[in-house]
């Protein structure tokens, strides 16, 4: 199966490299923005000493401070653009794993080999994990370089972006689980893509509404983004939240394996 | 010679009472047949008659709604059954950003590795040069992709080769080479099962044919049997210069004697009907019944 992983990564390396570079540049730009605003003091005076609730919501908390150096840097790992760039790896890898193969007809060359469909799926999960690590790695390197280039962020411990990126891995794992499960079930890549994006985007919006409007705050606990706050991860890793997402993700991957071993593959 | 240890003496393909439904649509209806080792069998039928669906069940891609498909005595969904299978889909798709050779290597590795001599022989026969194989598949013409798919199906010297419409998109020269390649494989005791619309190809390479219509088996016969029972096309030229063309059933040779007894006959030619005529006649008969 190593041959399949290698071939898939070689086939996709341009798009993966673009996503990794995108995340790298985004984190450097965010670090630069912090200095350009004049650091914590500059942001504080610009927003009358209080973090706007919308900014806090984007960072994954109802009223958290986003303007302290460590929180601002960690906020980069919850920025909507970062989520789009990095989660598109999980979504495209998952959708491509089965649904795209079936729709394009590539499955007829692949699945007629003397291998179990679950072995192909497992290879695709490994491929996603490597691709996801490369893209998150790009963001992490961007954050680490950004802190060194920005005088206002240079005092931050290197552990802050490392913790934020590790915490993000649990979200990526869950989203990949959704994408692989949808792909294992769907006949077309359009259906798998729509289902995955629907779940992910819907969950994100619902979580945001729950953070902004307290009567709906309970919805945070029934969607994946409620279990992810990079600014809280900057302080210390949220093991409980990560465990919830990982367990849910394992369930989705298990469902995908079950579905792919029973479905028609052409 | 294909690996006999993997083929265990059972029929290369054994299809027993197989039905495949998609909701209300019955794509394949209670189909039963089996193939002998070392034979080339053509699978014929009009569009939508269930040929590709059947081949996909043989390849283990589709689960029969009822019945069972076995390769060498093992159910086709079991990966072990596909150890001796080479499969070419009707519309082959590869990883577009990789070269032809990289795609071949990947597919060979999934099947336990290529037989280099077989790969070279097949590549030469299909006129696929090293330069062609080094190019990205995304830049291939449809004919080149077809050749690559045939090469991918045979490169590991499988005991059973299943080809879905292999003649599609091949130029006449490549087609002739393909027919020679397939005949050579059968000589080496490989079993070949191919679907085709090109009846001249089936007539040229196949030992036997299976005719299907609306998912059901219409006829199973050797090409020789079909020819034997094919009507003869008789062209009579009379002494007054007029010509008459008649289709004389093979079972009624007395008709020819009667025609020859006519003193007005100046010339008479007898040509066996082509496989195409035979197949069309069978379909027409079946549709009428």
Q: pLDDT, tens digit, for every residue of A27-52?
A: 999 999 998 888 888 888 888 878 88
Q: How many helices (H) and strands (E) does chain B have?
A: 10, 13
- Strands B208-213, B232-238: pairing is unpaired
pLDDT for res A55: 86
DSSP for B148-174, please give it: HHHHHHHTT--SEEEEESTTTT--HHH
pLDDT for res A76: 94
Please check whether residue B114 touches A, CB under 8 A: no
For chain B positions 33-62, those within 8 Å of chain A (CB to CB) are 56, 59-62
pLDDT of A109 above 50: yes
Please check whether residue B72 touches A, CB under 8 A: no
Q: Do B98 and A113 count as a contact with CB atoms less than 8 A apart?
A: no
Q: Do A109 and B89 count as a contact with CB atoms less than 8 A apart?
A: yes
Query: Percentages helix, strand, coil for chain B, rounded to the nearest 5?
Result: 40, 30, 35
Helix axes B100-110, B142-154, angle to 10 degrees: 30
User: Considering only CA atoms, which of B170, B68, B80, B86 is closest in space to residue B127?
Assistant: B170
Residue in A7, A107, A264 closest to B98 by CB: A7
Q: Do A264 and B61 count as a contact with CB atoms less than 8 A apart?
A: yes
Q: Do A109 and B111 count as a contact with CB atoms less than 8 A apart?
A: no
Please check whether residue B109 touches A, CB under 8 A: yes
Q: What is the ipTM of this complex?
A: 0.85
Give the closest-approach CA distance of B159 to chain A in angstroms.
Answer: 13
Residue labelled with tokens 């059968």: B186
pLDDT of A99 above 90: yes
Please check whether residue B79 touches A, CB under 8 A: yes
Considering only CB atoms, which chain A residues are within 8 Å of B96? 11
Q: Do A266 and B61 count as a contact with CB atoms less than 8 A apart?
A: yes
SS3 state at B223: helix
Q: Do B95 and A8 count as a contact with CB atoms less than 8 A apart?
A: yes
Residue in B82, B96, B105 closest to A113 by CB: B82
Task: Search chain B and give the residue with CA nearest A96.
Answer: B95
The per-residue pLDDT string of chain B (289 residues; one tens digit each, 9 = 90 and over) reads 454 445 667 999 999 999 999 999 999 999 999 999 999 999 999 889 999 999 999 999 999 999 999 999 999 999 999 999 999 999 999 999 999 999 999 999 999 999 999 999 999 999 999 999 999 999 999 999 999 999 999 999 999 999 999 988 888 888 899 999 999 999 999 999 999 888 888 888 999 999 999 999 999 999 888 878 777 888 889 899 899 888 887 777 688 788 888 888 888 888 877 788 888 878 887 777 7
Considering only CB atoms, which chain A residues are within 8 Å of B94? 106, 109
Give the closest-approach CA distance of B220 to chain A in angstroms.
Answer: 26
User: Per-residue pLDDT tens for A8-18?
Assistant: 999 999 999 99
Give the closest-approach CA distance of B209 to chain A in angstroms.
Answer: 24
Q: Do B112 and A114 count as a contact with CB atoms less than 8 A apart?
A: yes
Please check whether residue A104 touches B, CB under 8 A: yes
Residue labelled with tokens 């009358």: A48
Residue in B87, B105, B106 closest to A112 by CB: B87
Rg from Cα positions in chain A: 19
Contact B167, B175 (CB under 8 A): yes
Of A24-33, A61-70, A235-244, which gets the smallest average pLDDT? A61-70
Task: Search chain A and give the residue with CA nearest B53.
Answer: A266
Please check whether residue A110 touches B, CB under 8 A: yes
Q: Span A16-22, mean pLDDT? A: 98
Task: Search chain B and give the residue with CA nearest A112.
Answer: B59
Q: Provide the sign of the torsion angle of the four alpha carbons A63, A65, A67, A69, taken in this order.
A: negative
Give the closest-approach CA distance of A260 to chain B in angstroms.
Answer: 11
Residue in A4, A11, A108 closest to B89 by CB: A108
Q: Do B106 and A7 count as a contact with CB atoms less than 8 A apart?
A: yes
Residues 6 or more apart whose Cβ sits within 8 Å of residue A18? none
| Helix extents (H) in chain B | 51-58, 100-110, 116-125, 130-134, 142-154, 172-187, 199-205, 223-228, 254-261, 275-288
| Helix extents (H) in chain A | 2-36, 39-46, 53-58, 69-75, 80-95, 101-104, 107-110, 117-149, 159-185, 189-212, 230-235, 239-262
Total-model pTM: 0.89
Task: Search chain A and give the residue with CA nearest B22.
Answer: A264
Given phi > 0 = left and psi -120 to 50 = alpha, else beta, which region is B217? beta
Task: Search chain B and give the residue with CA nearest A261.
Answer: B77
Which tokens belong to B127? 């006129």
Please check whether residue A111 touches B, CB under 8 A: yes
Mutate to test the interface with B, among A100, A102, A103, A112 (most CBs of B within 10 A): A112
Q: Do B97 and A105 count as a contact with CB atoms less than 8 A apart?
A: no
Q: Span A66-86, mean pLDDT? A: 94
SS3 state at B220: strand
Task: Search chain B and give the residue with CA nearest A265.
Answer: B61
Please check whether residue B89 touches A, CB under 8 A: yes
Of A141-155, A177-191, B100-114, B275-289, which gets the smallest average pLDDT? B275-289
Give the closest-approach CA distance of B287 to chain A in angstroms.
Answer: 30
Give the closest-approach CA distance of B91 to chain A in angstroms.
Answer: 7
pLDDT for res A168: 97
Neighbours of B94 (CB within 10 A): 26
Please check whether residue B142 touches A, CB under 8 A: no
Give the closest-approach CA distance of B41 to chain A in angstroms.
Answer: 20
Largest interatomic CA distance in chain B: 73
């Amino acid at each position: 199966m190593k041959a399949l992983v290698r071939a898939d990564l070689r086939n996709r390396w341009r798009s993966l490299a673009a996503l990794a570079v995108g995340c790298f540049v985004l984190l450097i730009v965010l670090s630069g923005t912090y200095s350009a605003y004049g650091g914590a003091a500059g942001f504080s005076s610009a927003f009358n000493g209080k973090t706007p609730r919308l900014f806090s919501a984007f960072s994954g908390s109802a009223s958290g401070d986003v303007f302290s150096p460590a929180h601002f840097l960690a906020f980069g790992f919850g920025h909507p653009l970062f989520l789009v760039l990095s989660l598109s790896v999980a979504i495209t890898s998952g959708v491509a794993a089965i649904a795209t193969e079936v729709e394009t007809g590539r499955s007829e060359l692949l699945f007629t080999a003397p291998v179990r469909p679950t072995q192909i799926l497992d290879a695709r999960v490994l491929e996603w994990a490597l691709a996801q690590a490369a893209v998150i790695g790009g963001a992490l390197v961007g954050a680490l370089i950004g802190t060194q280039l920005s005088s206002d962020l240079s005092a931050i411990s290197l552990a802050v972006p490392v913790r934020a990126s590790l915490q993000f891995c649990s979200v990526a794992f869950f989203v990949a689980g959704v994408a692989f499960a949808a792909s294992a079930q769907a006949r077309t890549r359009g259906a798998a893509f729509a289902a995955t994006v629907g779940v992910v985007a819907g969950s994100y919006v619902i979580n945001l509404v729950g953070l902004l409007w307290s009567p709906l705050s309970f919805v945070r606990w029934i969607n994946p983004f409620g279990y992810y706050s990079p600014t809280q991860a900057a302080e210390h890793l949220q093991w409980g939240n990560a465990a919830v997402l990982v367990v849910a993700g394992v369930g989705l991957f298990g469902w995908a394996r079950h579905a792919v071993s029973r479905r028609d593959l052409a | 010679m294909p690996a006999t240890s993997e083929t265990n003496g059972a029929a290369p393909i054994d299809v027993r009472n197989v039905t495949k439904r998609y909701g209300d649509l019955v794509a394949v209806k209670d189909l039963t047949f089996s193939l002998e080792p070392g034979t080339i069998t053509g699978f014929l039928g009009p569009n939508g008659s269930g040929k590709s669906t059947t081949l996909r069940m043989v390849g283990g891609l589709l689960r029969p709604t009822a019945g069972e498909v076995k390769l060498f005595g093992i159910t086709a969904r079991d990966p072990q059954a596909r150890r001796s299978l080479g499969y070419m889909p009707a519309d082959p798709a590869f990883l577009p950003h990789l070269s032809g050779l990289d795609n071949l290597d990947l597919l060979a590795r999934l099947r336990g590795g290529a037989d280099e001599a077989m790969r070279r022989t097949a590549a030469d026969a299909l006129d696929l040069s090293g330069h062609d194989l080094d190019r990205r598949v995304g830049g291939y013409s449809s004919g080149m992709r077809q050749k690559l798919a045939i090469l991918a199906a045979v490169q590991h010297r499988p005991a059973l080769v299943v080809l879905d419409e292999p003649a599609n998109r091949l130029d006449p020269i490549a087609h002739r080479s393909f027919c020679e390649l397939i005949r050579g494989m059968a000589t080496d005791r490989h079993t070949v099962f191919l679907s085709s619309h090109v009846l001249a190809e089936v007539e040229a390479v196949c030992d036997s044919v299976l005719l299907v219509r609306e998912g059901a088996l219409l006829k199973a016969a050797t090409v020789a049997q079909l020819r034997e029972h094919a009507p003869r096309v008789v062209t009579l030229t009379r002494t007054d210069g007029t010509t008459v063309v008649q289709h004389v059933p093979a079972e009624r040779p007395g008709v020819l004697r009667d025609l020859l007894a006519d003193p007005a006959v100046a010339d008479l030619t007898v040509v066996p009907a082509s496989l195409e005529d035979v197949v069309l006649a069978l379909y027409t008969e079946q549709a009428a019944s």
